[in-house]
């Protein structure tokens, strides 16, 4: 597996949609060797996903902000 998202060599900035997400919000590189290990390490949970898309996006946005380089 690689260390960067194919098509996003400088990384994925917080708030920017991953280039590998299809129109159906599914990962285009899921299960492929070029999928970065960190993507596979992010496992969905009830805390993360909440009960709707808006709650999931808020959780992911907060995570991106908390882990962004200073």
pLDDT in tens, 2-54: 578 999 998 888 778 899 999 998 999 999 999 999 888 888 889 888 999 89
Domain that holds residue 66: 1-70
Q: Note the pTM of the prediction, 2 decimals.
A: 0.70
Sign of the alpha-carbon torsion through 26, 35, 50, 61 = negative
Asked if 37 and 43 count as a contact pair (C-beta separation under 8 A), the reply is: no
Judged against a pLDDT cut of 70, whether residue 68 lies above it is answered with: yes
Number of structural domains, the chain? 1
In angstroms, the Cα distances linking 46 to 43, 50, 56, 58, 59 are 10, 5, 9, 13, 11
Q: Residue 42 and residue 48: Cα distance in Å, rounded?
A: 10
């Amino acid at each position: 597996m690689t260390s960067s998202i194919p098509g996003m060599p400088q990384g994925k900035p917080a708030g920017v949609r991953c280039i590998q997400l299809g129109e159906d919000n599914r990962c285009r590189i899921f299960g492929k060797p070029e999928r970065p290990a960190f993507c596979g390490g992010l496992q969905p949970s009830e805390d993360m996903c909440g009960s709707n898309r808006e709650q999931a996006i808020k959780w992911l946005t907060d995570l991106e902000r908390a882990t962004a380089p200073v």
